[in-house]
Structure 1
Amino acid sequence: MHIGIIGAGNVGVGIADALTYLGIGKKITLFNRHIDKALGEIWDLSDCIPLLENNIEFHATDDLKDLKDCNIIAITAGIKQKPGQSRMDLLNENLKIIKNIVENLDEINEKAIIIMVTNPVDILTRVAINISKRDKNLIFGSGTVLDSIRFREAIGEKIDINRKNIHAYIIGEHGDSEFPLWSATHIGPLKLEDFNIKNFDNFKKEIALRVKKRAYKIIEKKGFTKQAIGVSVANIIKSIILDEKKIFTVSVPIEKSCGCIRKDVCLSIPCVLGEKGIEKKLLMECSELEFELLKQSAEKLDKIYAEIAKETE
């Protein structure tokens, strides 16, 4: 399985690192406009192989044509988020970059599954889907996969339960309007609300805020995020390669009529991933409040997309 990564910045390298350490894929090609950066990262990773129990083949390139045989391509190229910036602040510059990449990939390799990681991921996923000629199930964004993992971990720490037994999801925008799907949160067979948590309302507020602010706090301290998003995307890729049919909250068009929400807005909902990419979208029941939050998140994303739509035509 040949995996391509576009962008040798922190996130792109984080994905390459995670794939290497977890032994995912047979060949990794790292594309970067400045070949020396890609070469340095690939050489460094190649030196890890004798210390690991896998045999991944590495390549560095500054030519997108070298991704023509890739099965999966993760796009991370773009300007990085700085302390104090929201993900939406990155839009104008990253829009131009992504538009050019997707158009070129359509000519080079129209069968590869594309995972959008560049922020703001929901808007740029919608841009990529609308530009690309490939099947819609072959393009999706990394969305709130990491946010959902942080959500389960935070709940587990609070109630002293292994996160692997916690079924919980962050949905909506990967950004400030994301929110926890509390009504679908289960601890093993129990609904969270039946778990007898003291000061339940305060518990929920504290957890939601912690998850939403986590990336901002990391960026404030070290200037970027890398490791966790790298492992998150690596796990998405693994699910596709092994056809695991696992559920991830990735960014996709809702497509089915959902009240007042436009069906082509991309945001995160639980989806089944397998060898065909997006194999099923799980349009879940939710409370009236949660539906209103989803609607607000979708309206925010749709308004922003409308402002830049002309540039994507």
Structure 2
Amino acid sequence: MANRRVALVGCGMVGMSYAYALLNSDLCNELILIDINEDKAKGEAMDLNHGLCFSSSHMKIRAGSFEDCAYADLVVITASAGSRKPGETRFDQLNKNVKIFKSFISKIVASGFNGIFLVASNPVDVMTRVTYELSGFPANRVIGSGTTLDTARLRYLIGDYFQADPHSVHGYVIGEHGDSEFVPFSQLNLSTKNVEEFFNDERFANDYKREDIEDIIEKVKNSGAEVIKLKGATYYGIGMSLVRITKAIFGDENSVITVSSRLNGEYGMRDVYLGLPAYVNRNGVRKILPLNLTEEEIEKLRNSYNILKESYDGINM
């Protein structure tokens, strides 16, 4: 295996869910854990190493520092200021995360790191753009987890509705990873059959209804909040999403994944990072896959774009 080194910044539940899933995937041969709490990083490295003999992986796992990013091919960022506190606005939380990113992005760049940034810290689209701006890296080498997990939730729930393997569901959640995200019906298929065809086919009139799919889409949008309500946080799903993106990068797959990437004129929009299906390979994002969206869907995408642009313009950079 060629050198595939990952530096993970942030050893909270999301970061360690990623690390644990990575340990069981045999995707890299070195994982460096970096956290403001150095003892936490050391303890997590020990704990993972103690399970190494039960894994198919032969990766080396250790705690490290930002200087170690010089040797990394991929830096995955899950660090954040934590959940919003009572009385705090969304912008308060966002500015806290920006302050945290300012404290270490420059150190990663100064180390000589020349790989790919993969960001999962929320609000992920804005924080990915912050990483891009602070790092000075080419846009293709700064990626956010985007709506990857939202899309996985969609495919799971649609598959359950049609009693089909979710791998046979083809569709995307696009836009902001947040309240303005949406599912373009024009792109939502079971195998090669668009879901709209089920609603207009009298053979399925009593089985499948558009309002059921709309309810599922609303459930997808609220899934994260529901998990947080039930167990306090979400981390397994996003951890596995990050592993999927890592696999596409290290495998030079050109897989189409709904990562957060920088718009460069697509749909008449620029500069903002948001979730759209894009080809992901060893160089990061090769290009965004153009979709034949309806005018209504483009307007929904523009709404997400405007929200994310306003969020970025309102932070203290």
TM-score, scaled relative to structure 1: 0.93
Counterparts in 2 of 1:110 and 1:51: CA distance versus 1, 3 Å: closer
CA deviation profile, 1:147-175 (whole Å, cap 9, x unmatched):
00000011000011111111110000001
Length, aligned pairs only: 307
CA deviation profile, 1:192-226 (whole Å, cap 9, x unmatched):
21134545331222111110111111111221111
Superposed, 1:171-186 pairs within 5 Å as 171-186=174-189
Residue matched to 2:173 = 170
Aligned partners of 2:158 and 2:213 also within 8 Å = no
SS of residue matched to 1:175: coil
Q: Which runs of 4+ in 1 moved over 4 A?
A: 82-89, 196-199
Aligned partners of 2:144 and 2:260 also within 8 Å = yes
Q: Of 242, 247, 261, which residue of structure 1 is paired with 2:256? A: 247
Q: CA deviation at 1:8?
A: 0.5
Q: Of 281, 289, 301, which residue of structure 1 is paired with 2:308? A: 301
Q: Of 186, 191, 194, which residue of structure 1 is paired with 2:194? A: 191
Aligned partners of 1:42 and 1:58 also within 8 Å = yes
Aligned partners of 2:69 and 2:113 also within 8 Å = no
Q: CA deviation at 1:112?
A: 1.2
Q: CA deviation at 1:87?
A: 7.0
Q: Which moved more, 1:168-177 or 1:193-202?
A: 193-202
Residue matched to 2:30 = 27
CA deviation profile, 1:262-290 (whole Å, cap 9, x unmatched):
x0011100001111110121121211221
CA deviation profile, 1:222-258 (whole Å, cap 9, x unmatched):
2111111111101100111111111110111111152
Q: CA deviation at 1:301?
A: 0.9
Q: Which moved more, 1:243-252 or 1:148-157?
A: 243-252
Structure 2 CA distance, aligned partners of 1:155 and 1:268?
20
Structure 2 CA distance, aligned partners of 1:184 and 1:162?
18
Aligned partners of 1:88 and 1:119 also within 8 Å = no
Q: Which sections of structure 2, spanning at least 5 residues, go unmatched? A: none
Residue matched to 2:80 = 78
Aligned partners of 1:169 and 1:249 also within 8 Å = yes
CA deviation profile, 1:80-116 (whole Å, cap 9, x unmatched):
2369999766312111111222222221134110001
TM-score, scaled relative to structure 2: 0.92
Superposed, 1:74-223 pairs within 5 Å as 74-81=76-83, 90-196=93-199, 198=207, 200-223=209-232
* C-alpha RMSD of matched pairs (Å): 1.8
- Percent sequence identity over aligned pairs: 31
Residue matched to 1:284 = 291
